[in-house]
Amino acid sequence: MKIALGQLNVQSGNIVANIESMKAMIQEAKAKNADIIVFPEMAISGYFLQDKWTDSEFVAFCQSQNETIKGLSDGIGIIWGNVSPMYGGQRFVGHDGRPARFNSAFFAFNQQWVPRPNAAWGQYVKHLLPDYRVFDDTRFFIDGITLSAWTNEDICEPFEFEKDGQTTKISLQVCEDLWDHDYSFSPTQKAIEYQSDLIINISSSPWTRNKEFSRIKQLVKHHEKFAGKMPPFVYVNAVGMQNNGKTVVVFDGNSTLYDRKGVRVDGCNDRFESECKIVDTQDEIKDESVTKNKLLLALLCGIKEFDRQVFPFKPNWLIGVSGGMDSSISAALLSMALGSERIIGINMSTKYNAEITKNNAQILCQRLKIRYLASDIEAMVDSTLLTMKKFGYPEPYASLTVENIQARLRGHCLSTISSIEKAIIINNANKVETALGYCTLYGDTIGALAPLGDCTKMQLAQLGREINEYFEKEIIPENLLPIVGDGEISWQFAPSAELKDAQIDPMKWGYHDWLIQKLTEYPGFQVEKLMEDYLSGNIFETEAGRFMKFYGLDDPQKFIDDLLWVLNSIQNSVYKRIQMPPIIMVSRGSFGQDYRESQVRFQYSDKFNDLKSQIINKTGEKHAL
């Protein structure tokens, strides 16, 4: 069977554009004599639409497009994802008394619905609805398990696709239905029981670091569980960007045909790009390639698609270029994604800014060929301090007050230039700064998008080197990139906010990068486990532990002081993160709608306090750890 993998760039809410893209791919698949073309989950509407799903007219419009797609199925089977307010022509009432909606896969051929032995309407309903991370499926949809109970029908029954005198039993799945190992119900097991000839899974599976390996693991588990019984498996994923308002989600594609042994036979690119690829279940091509530099590609995709979908009028983008690593990488990414002619770099120096960073900013913009504006803001700082005196607040002012004035004035300058230029502001914050609140509200927290907000400093350092390799010359200044050894790190120019004399960022880079990732990527991670590993000495056998020694945290008192500072800083900064721009999600725990926070005060557990006492009592015994 020749199957066209319709790896579609699905735009949330843009039904007309999605339908046009589907039409083009269907035409291409027909020209290549494909038997079936498969599109992703929610291919017509997009997946991340939040409470737009409660708009009954919108849902009805999505449903009406099924007839459009079915009408294109002459000579070719078409499988696609769409929302539906009904099943088999019947409407249902959900648990909350409101009309039920279903996340469905539809199957049409020769302008008719492809039937199952006990159903003629060509519709499969997603059985496993995720409610973790960025997913809220049960808020909006009724699952196939519940629907089966309502209808006394096994919705997992395979479809019977008849073409050229052959009947193929095809089991459909929708995304999470593959990831069933933590659920009490297994759609894959049902497909095995029905002895299906083929399983096709349509997905809107967001990419985060190493996600491709997690997907493969799911299939490996099924092959281990159902030894020798798994049929060929087709996985079709979306590409592009969708967002839920606080988190920008990117999709890498990586649509694939796997053989009966679970080996990748052939598939589409995993570079976040749309593609219509014809694969054949009879082929024996073995394709195990995985694209490198996927973090770089993910960020470029997020920026490019966010700009295209949210700001289709193609405005300029403003970036405050300080001459530091983060803003340099942001400027390079913007230029790579959107073209240098739409980017404006703004350098706003004070007396605390070093010549090296001011030069870095100017040279960066010259190398990227982006427009560069520069001015000191000392007069604005002085004017603000004078105004404070008139309000009755005499000098001296606390250092932090003066630092925040500079940061907010930079935000003020960017906002004013944005108004003049009718441009959009980019946010440069990295994940560690965002976590610790090392940013000034209404200063460096402003912007429409935070592309680096889910990247640690160490990841950005690697990204900087990849950008230089891409351009085949020094774009990100080498004087900003750290030299990282075995648990050691050195800087030619250490990261600094440059808001006071001889200022250096308080973060313990390498260790804090690891700790922030641990706390956000694994919400169930208990900090008490870290403390137990510290007491046992096991932590020092890890890369994070080697960084801890480098920073002197093998001293128990210093370790506890630092840990309390990190935990308190994270909790005290929730209010800032709530007000910050949406972040491009690239980890297992991105701030926003992925790693979700509340502004409640927390108390340390009795176990935490007990471990804290045990660790402090070891003060002076650091070499024994």
pLDDT digits (tens, 9 = 90+) for 92-141: 999 888 999 999 999 999 999 999 999 999 999 999 999 999 999 999 99
CA dist., res. 39 & res. 76, Å (int): 13
Q: Are 392 and 552 in contact (CB under 8 A)?
A: no
Enter the pTM of the model: 0.96
Rounded to the nearest angstrom, the gap between the alpha carbon of residue 339 and the centroid of all alpha carbons in its chain is 23
Cα gap 11→243, rounded to integer Å: 10
Q: Which two three-digit tokens encode residue 111?
A: 């302008």
- 153 by Cβ neighbours in 10 Å (0-12 / 13-18 / 19+) ranks as middle
At 621, the pLDDT band (50, 70, 90 cuts) reads low
Which amino acid type is present at position 253? G
**Structure-token pair, residue 149:** 């109970």
| pLDDT reading at 525 higher than 80 | no
Q: In this structure, how many other beta carbons lie within 10 angstroms of the beta carbon of residue 407?
A: 20
Nearest to 175 by CA among 243, 118, 103: 103
Whole-number Å distance between alpha carbons of 520 and 54: 30
Lowest mean pLDDT among 175-179, 290-294, 316-320, 536-540: 290-294
Q: For residue 218, what are its two tokens?
A: 């799911």
Whether 252 and 270 have beta carbons less than 8 Å apart is answered as yes
Among 94-98, 143-147, 537-541, 546-550, where is mean pLDDT lowest?
A: 94-98
* Whether pLDDT at 487 is above 90: no
Residue 149 pLDDT > 60:
yes
Collapsing DSSP states into helix, strand and coil, what is residue 390?
helix
Higher pLDDT, 31 or 623: 31
Alpha helix (H) residue ranges in 369-398:
378-390
What is the average pLDDT value for the chain, to the nearest integer? 95
Instruction: Give the CA distances from residue 218 to residues 178, 214, 235, 388, in Å, rounded to whole numbers and listed in that order.
Output: 7, 7, 12, 61
Residue 565 has pLDDT above 70, yes or no: yes
- What does the pLDDT read at residue 618? 82
Query: Alpha-carbon distance 306 to 584, whole Å?
Result: 10
pLDDT at residue number 522: 85
Phi, psi of 563 (to 5 degrees): -65, -45
Instruction: Tell me the C-alpha to C-alpha distance, in Å, between residue 370 and each of 303, 338, 342, 365, 603.
Output: 17, 11, 8, 5, 49
Given a contact cutoff of 8 angstroms between Cβ atoms, the answer to whether 377 and 350 are in contact is yes
Tokens read off for 285:
């091509």
Q: 335 falls in which pLDDT band (50, 70, 90)?
A: very high
* Cα separations in angstroms, 495 against 399, 447, 617: 19, 22, 34
Question: Are the C-beta atoms of 583 and 591 separated by less than 8 Å?
Answer: yes
pLDDT category at 292 given cuts 50, 70, 90 is confident
Read off the tokens for 150: 């309502």
For residue 597, CA distances in Å to 519, 523, 570 come to: 12, 10, 10
Taking residues 203-210, report their average pLDDT: 96
Please report where in the chains the tokens 């208990």 appear, as a residue.
526
What the block records as the tokens of 354 is 């070093």
Sequence spans of domains, the chain: 2-291, 304-616
Spatial separation of the C-alpha atoms in residues 478 and 602, rounded to whole Å: 42
Bridge pairing between strands 239-243 and 233-237: unpaired
The superfamily in CATH containing domain 304-616 is HUPs (3.40.50.620)
CA dist., res. 435 & res. 111, Å (int) = 53
- Number of CB atoms found within 10 A of residue 221's CB: 16
| Long-range pairs of 303-307 with CB within 8 A, sequence gap ≥ 24 | 303/333, 303/334, 303/337, 303/338, 303/449, 303/451, 303/584, 304/241, 304/337, 304/338, 305/9, 305/240, 305/241, 305/250, 306/241, 306/243, 306/248, 306/449, 306/584, 307/337, 307/338
**pLDDT band per the 50, 70, 90 thresholds, residue 187:** very high
Q: Would you say domain 2-291 falls under CATH 3.60.110.10?
A: yes
* pLDDT digit string, tens, across residues 163-175: 999 999 999 999 9
CA distance linking residue 402 with residue 393, whole number of Å: 13
Encoded tokens for 128: 């496993």
Compute the CA torsion angle 244, 431, 328, 346 (nearest 10 deg). Answer: 70
Residue 374, beta-bridge partner list = 347
Q: Which of 452, 416, 481, 397 is nearest to 581 (CA)?
A: 452
At a CB cut-off of 8 Å and minimum separation 6, what does 66 contact? 44, 82, 84, 106
Please, which pLDDT band fits residue 622 given cuts at 50, 70 and 90? low
Contact 249, 242 (CB under 8 A): yes
Rounded Cα distance, 36 and 114, in Å: 12
> What pLDDT, on a 0 to 100 scale, did the predictor assign at position 623?
46
Confidence of residue 625 (pLDDT cuts 50, 70, 90): very low
Q: Which long-range contacts (CB under 8 A, 24 or more apart) does 566-572 make?
A: 566/436, 566/512, 566/515, 566/516, 567/527, 569/435, 569/436, 569/437, 569/438, 570/435, 570/436, 570/437, 570/516, 570/519, 571/601, 571/602, 572/437
User: CA distances (Å), 160 to each of 107, 122, 595, in order?
Assistant: 10, 10, 42
Report the SS3 class of residue 279.
Answer: strand
Q: What is the pLDDT of residues 404-460, one digit of tens each?
A: 999 999 999 999 999 999 999 999 999 999 999 999 999 999 999 999 999 999 999
Q: Which residue has the tokens 């053989």?
A: 259
How sure is the predictor about 290, in pLDDT bands with cuts at 50, 70 and 90?
A: confident
Per-residue confidence (pLDDT) for residue 204, from 0 to 100: 98
Distance, in Å, from the CA atom of 304 to the CA atom of 307, rounded to the nearest integer, reads: 5
DSSP label at residue 397 = P
Give the number of C-alpha atoms closer than 13 A to the C-alpha of residue 401, restricted to the C-beta side: 10
Backbone φ and ψ of 300, nearest 5°: -65, -40
